[in-house]
Copies of this chain bind each other. A is one copy, B any other.
Amino acid sequence: MKKKEAAALIKGRAFDKLKDTLTHMLPADIAALSEDCGTKELTIIFRLLPTDLAAETFAYMSSGRQKTLINALSDKELKAVLRELFLDDTVDIIEEMPANVVSRIIKAADPAKRRQINELLSYAEDSAGSVMTTEFVYLDKNNTVEDALKRIKAVGLAKETVYTCYVTDRRQLIGSVSLLDMVVCDKDKMISDIMDTPVVSVSVSEDRETVANIFTRHGFAALPVTDSENRIVGIITFDDIMDVIREENAEDISMMSAVVPGEESYLKTSSLKHAKSRIVWLLVLMLSATVTGAVTSRFEAQIAAMPLLVAFMPMLTDTGGNCGSQSSAMVIRAMASEEIGNKDFFRVMGKEFSVALICGVILCAVNFIRIIIMYKNILMAATVTVALMCTIILSKLLGGVLPMLARRMKLDPAVMSGPLITTIVDSCSVLIYFTAAVRILKI
């Protein structure tokens, strides 16, 4: 592995050999290597790289490292890197930087690039506009294939951005043509003869999660982004979408586990920062759980009379929480992939209700038998069974419905997942349980 070799060379300060090793490594790997070394070594490594590799590597670094580097580089060096950096990467970097670093970057960019940067920065976070790049090739429908290929050569862009080229007619997007089709056909054909129609496009303001769904649905390599008048203003490529899918997924998993989503890595994030992203929900949920405590307090007389009642509480609340988590996870996932929308509200309710009935009957039967065997107390078994059945139905319904309501209220559905639903279901199930106990056990 080249990475270990390079690390040894840094340690041994064998810079000539290091330069040779680095130029044979991939940018993402050099970036990973640079994460583990000091500021001085970082600057040395970076200065050893040829400018294009340096720029690519820079794009792969964590924002912490990028900040350190920008502060260490001279204006001239920074300019050279920015010239090689892709526009969308530049914007991604700027979005993570403090104001003083941003102004240095903007100052170092040439006027045309500066204008484009400002334009891209103005798109809402999580919109298609914020993911797209404005560096792409568009072809006129009246071009010949030969003209088109010449144009592609002249523009000299990255691979990802020319696998699919977009065809315009008076700036309107009318079709797409793949590089492969241009390569394999007669060079004097017209672009309009070989282009594919219809072309799928998204609006600049489209949510990036929706864009990701379109990519995976059709397996596209790129997707054009249009303004309100169907003029192409940028393109989104598959590599950026892979990042979006990863980020959205990490965000969902965080939210579903009551963690405020962050972008940093696990090991590199300080304990304080980890605690910060976890404490808010822990506090909210802990205080909400006192409602369940208050409900329990109302039944102190019953508990004192029959302490055995308490033995079934953990089973009851855990099962309720698990049922709710299952339902909400399935519904959140289906909503994220756009399989279910607002209109499916009652279908989801129906589905969850019947799943709850099936699961409920099985769980209640097993539990009933267990209590009869262990405690030989039919009334106790009946009490727990009634409470368990109600809890399962309630938690599955809430698990299915609350994420959908959250979306209607313009919240992320993932807010309404396991932890919150568990807390909500808890107080209800305890209330049902003790009420059933009062009625059935007559205490």
Contact = CB atoms under 8 A, between A and B. Distances in A.
A319 B293 CA distance: 13
Interface stretch (A73-81, A119-127, A203-211, A358-366): A358-366
Contact of A422 (B272, B315, B321): B321
User: What bracket does the count of chain A residues touching chain B fall in?
Assistant: 35 or more
A318 B359 CA distance: 23
Interface string A229-246: 000000000110111011
20 contacts: A28-B219, A159-B180, A159-B181, A216-B242, A219-B239, A253-B253, A253-B256, A266-B340, A267-B348, A274-B355, A275-B355, A278-B359, A279-B363, A282-B323, A283-B366, A285-B318, A286-B363, A297-B311, A303-B307, A418-B418
Contacts of A362: 275, 279, 283
Interface of A is mostly: helix
Interface of A: 24, 26-28, 149, 152-153, 156, 159-160, 162-163, 178-184, 197-198, 200, 215-221, 238-239, 241-243, 245-246, 249-250, 252-254, 256-259, 265-267, 271-272, 274-275, 278-279, 281-283, 285-287, 289-290, 292-294, 296-297, 300-301, 303-304, 307-308, 310-315, 317-319, 321-323, 325-326, 328-334, 337, 339-340, 344, 347-348, 351, 354-355, 358-359, 362-363, 366-367, 370, 417-419, 422-423, 426-427, 430
Contact of A285 (B267, B319, B328, B423): B319
A296 B303 CA distance: 13
How many copies, total? Answer: 2
Contact of A245 (B197, B245, B308, B367): B245
Contacts of A355: 271, 274-275, 278
B293 A221 contact: no
A316 to B, nearest CB: 8
A325 B246 CA distance: 20
A183 B271 CA distance: 51
A293 B314 contact: yes
Nearest to A304: B307
A329 B333 CA distance: 16
Contacts of A200: 26
